[in-house]
A and B are shown apart, each in its own frame.
Chain A
Amino acid sequence: EAAVTQSPRNKVAVTGGKVTLSCNQTNNHNNMYWYRQDTGHGLRLIHYSYGAGSTEKGDIPDGYKASRPSQENFSLILELATPSQTSVYFCASGDAPGNERLFFGHGTKLSVL
């Protein structure tokens, strides 16, 4: 099964600080995604990537940047963290264009104080 690894598992940050969430996948998938999950909202798409060097805005990109330096790695960057960004963040990779099955990492719980 596809392996997607996120780090860190838990993060506490201060308001105004910079936070970087990392994701690594070992299955050579082209597409990678960052979602956040909040009660009552399901999974909401922040940024995604079609391959190394590409990033695209999702449905809720404000306050977030993304970086895809290689096929395996996809980072989510919060330059100036705010309490409203407290959430659980999931990274996923996709196995094929079109009817794409997503493989999710175990999530990063971020608390911004």
Chain B
Amino acid sequence: QQNVQQSPESLIVPEGARTSLNCTFSDSASQYFWWYRQHSGKAPKALMSIFSNGEKEEGRFTIHLNKASLHFSLHIRDSQPSDSALYLCAVSGTGFASALTFGSGTKVIVLP
């Protein structure tokens, strides 16, 4: 069974700083890697995904993936108070329809 771990558990950063979140997974055959964001009391919402080694940038958000190290990360440039939320990483396995396994989340607080 897939084991997905996130670090740190929580993070406080000043407005304008760079935020870095980490996620490790256990199944080397995993194919797709996602980050979701959940504001307090709201539904989780997909941010972005990656499926090949390397880096992918969308606006202020960048994902790095290293399959050999079983690790991927999310970096937020110029963090804003509106980025304060629970960030969940998720990993899909193999097969035609493979449900996502989520990590336990990193709570991010961006102070103005």
Binding site for A on B (CB under 8 A): 1, 4, 6, 31-32, 34, 36, 42-46, 49, 51, 88, 90, 92, 96-97, 99-105
CB distance from B85 to the nearest CB of A (A): 14
CB distance from A51 to the nearest CB of B (A): 10
How many residue pairs at the A-B interface have CB separations less than 8 Å? 58
A102 within 8 A of B: yes
Number of A interface residues at 8 Å Cβ cutoff, please give it: 26
A52 within 8 A of B: no
Q: In the complex, what distance in Å separates the CA atom of A58 from the CA atom of B6?
A: 21
Which among A33, A41, A44, A100 has the greatest number of chain B C-beta atoms within 10 A? A100
In the complex, residue of chain B having the shortest beta-carbon distance to the beta carbon of A35: B102
Q: In the complex, what distance in Å separates the CA atom of A90 from the CA atom of B17?
A: 32
